[in-house]
């Protein structure tokens, strides 16, 4: 599930992860992962290109990966790592 990660400090990291199947076809705003898990979706990657100008209306698909920032525990819980 994890394609890459950057450790920010002992508690925080940015993970590049695949979009969970249950999230495909839903918008970032609809999922409200910031409120539910305490993580932020920083951007998406598609065909090797990174897009950081995402909005709550950005629809997730199964052919992208996401860049997610948060505490390790929150990231693990959210993405079942």
Predicted confidence at residue 80, as pLDDT, reads 82
The model's pLDDT over 58-73, given as tens digits with 9 standing for 90+, comes to 999 999 999 999 999 9
The model's pLDDT over 28-50, given as tens digits with 9 standing for 90+, comes to 999 999 999 999 999 999 998 99
Rounded to whole angstroms, how far apart are CA atoms 4 and 16?
A: 5
Domain CATH code at residue 45: 3.30.70.1450
Q: How many structural domains does the chain have?
A: 1
Contact between residue 15 and residue 80 where contact means Cβ atoms under 8 Å apart = no
Structural domain of 51: 2-79
Buried b (16+ CB within 10 A) or exposed e, 31-61: bebeeebebebebbbeeeeeeeebeeebebe
């Amino acid at each position: 599930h994890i394609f890459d990660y950057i450790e920010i400090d002992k508690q925080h990291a940015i993970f590049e992860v695949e979009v969970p199947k249950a999230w495909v076809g839903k918008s970032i705003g609809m999922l409200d992962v910031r409120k539910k898990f305490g993580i932020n979706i920083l951007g998406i990657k598609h065909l090797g290109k990174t897009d950081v100008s995402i909005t709550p209306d950005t629809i997730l698909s199964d052919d992208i990966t996401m860049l997610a920032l948060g505490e390790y525990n929150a990231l693990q819980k959210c993405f079942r790592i």
